[in-house]
Structure 1
């Protein structure tokens, strides 16, 4: 999916997470989005001294909060929308110490048993706004 001006990004984390875990969830989700949404990260830029700086995301990326149940609802609603890219981050994933542990635990867990503690969204502005437009920023 290539970024389009009429598209929007947002990350929503559970308001039940302590600050450190909320920031961890948002970081993991933003890394995945940057990797999976082609062109979301802009080109490298050069400063006045000629030093090149790696590109950063070129669209706003609000980090919002919602009750855990609402995070799960956002995940389910996003899954049903064709143009929406979403990535869910579960409490299972957040509790793993290694990626191998994550792979093993996911293989033994059904989708219905995954509790989402965060979700990253990239999709049509109107659809994203409908899902997250009234949510507060993480503070």
Structure 2
């Protein structure tokens, strides 16, 4: 790829990042450790699905490099269990949704987690956290009433 093509690609990636928003909404009733875990699980999957959101590597003055971070930030908001289910349902048609069902913190065995979710129908699932990535204005409308998780 030529230097000019690389520069253009970088400009296009930056423009795409600025037009998108990424948020995570966590069950307000969770203890801090459980809430942090739920947000981390969702963030990890969002990062894998939206690698274009990761910025350029950070470089120290001596050239030491650090991995790039997300330059648009990720607000972590809070909601009730009921609100999480409603948010997930409303969001599916408008943006990418990564959800973390409650069964995920009931076991450390991923196969048991898969089996537990598989035994339920969609409407009966409850969520610990929901991650959303999509158009800035659409995400803002979906999560506008939620406060920061504190």
Q: Shared topology, TM-score over 0.5?
A: yes
1:69-92, Cα deviation, whole Å (9 max, x unpaired): 1111110001122xx011111111
Greater CA radius of gyration, 1 or 2? Answer: 2
**Residue among 113, 116, 120 paired with 2:124:** 113
Residue 133 (structure 1) aligned with residue 147 (structure 2): no
Q: Show structure 1 runs of 5+ residues with no match.
A: none
Whole-Å Cα distance in 2 between the matches of residues 119 and 102 of structure 1? Answer: 17
Residue 60 (structure 1) aligned with residue 84 (structure 2): no
**Residue among 37, 41, 44 paired with 1:24:** 37
1:50 Cα deviation from its structure 2 partner: 1.2
Whole-Å Cα distance in 2 between the matches of residues 103 and 28 of structure 1? Answer: 15
What TM-score, normalized to structure 2? Answer: 0.84
| Residue-pair matches, total | 136
1:43 Cα deviation from its structure 2 partner: 2.7
Quote the RMSD (CA, aligned, Å).
Answer: 1.4
Runs (4 or more) in structure 1 with deviation over 3 Å come to none
Whole-Å Cα distance in 1 between the matches of residues 35 and 49 of structure 2? Answer: 21
Given that 2:17 and 2:52 are in contact with CA atoms closer than 8 Å, whether structure 1 keeps it comes out as no
Q: Show structure 2 runs of 5+ residues with no match.
A: 1-12
What TM-score, normalized to structure 1? Answer: 0.90
Q: Pick the structure with more helix per residue.
A: 2
